[in-house]
Amino acid sequence: MNQELEQTIRQQFPDAVLAATDCKGTLLITIKADQLLPVCRFVRDSLEFDFPDCVTGIDTGKELEVVYTLWSTVRDNDLSIKVVLPYDAPEVDSVTEVWKGANWHEREVYDLLGVRFRNHPDLRRILLPESFQGHPLRKEYQETD
């Protein structure tokens, strides 16, 4: 199933896919950040990935990654899409126009890692006060007294 899913995405977006791997039975596909919205619309509309199970961010120490874990309630299958962003200016389009359920997930990634989601309907801190300085899940973060 994962090979077929990967081939379908690669055929539709031959220049967008950077890598693909099987991660414990789930296809994890890395795509160019500027192709996120078209790929997400395609997997929702054509492949029936209708539920954004999780959006999470990862600080690798060199760059930031955003991983979208999607689920198809119709096919009972999941898919993960990853984008890699530059550490000094992490910004990517919001997928809230594709899945409204990604709203709070993106706000959490913004709050804790500082990833800016372009065109997000309400991009503000969700866990920490607005006055909080920094993003505590970044490796560079230094706690102050």
Mean pLDDT in the chain? 96
Residue 145 located in a structural domain: no
Please spell the DSSP secondary structure of 38-106, one letter per residue: HHHHHHHHTT---EEEEEEEEE-SSEEEEEEEEEETTTTEEEEEEEEEETTS-EEE--TTT-GGGHHHH
What range defines the domain where residue 56 resides?
2-89
Residues 6+ apart with CB under 8 A from 133: 144
The Cα–Cα gap between 27 and 55 comes to 15
Q: Which helix (H) or strand (E) holds 126?
A: none
Number of domains making up the chain: 1
For 55-109, what is each residue's pLDDT tens digit? 999 999 999 999 999 999 999 999 999 999 999 999 999 999 999 999 999 999 9
Domain at 34, CATH number: 3.30.460.80
Residue 37 lies in a domain: yes
- Cβ-count burial of 38 within 10 angstroms (0-12 exposed, 13-18 middle, 19+ buried)? middle
Q: Is residue 51 part of a domain?
A: yes
Is position 123 within any domain? no
* pTM listed for this prediction: 0.94
pLDDT, position 97? 97
Residue 103: inside a domain:
no
For residue 144, pLDDT beyond 80: no
SS3 19: strand
Residue 80: CB atoms within 10 A of its CB come to: 18
Q: Do 138 and 122 form a contact (C-beta atoms < 8 A)?
A: no
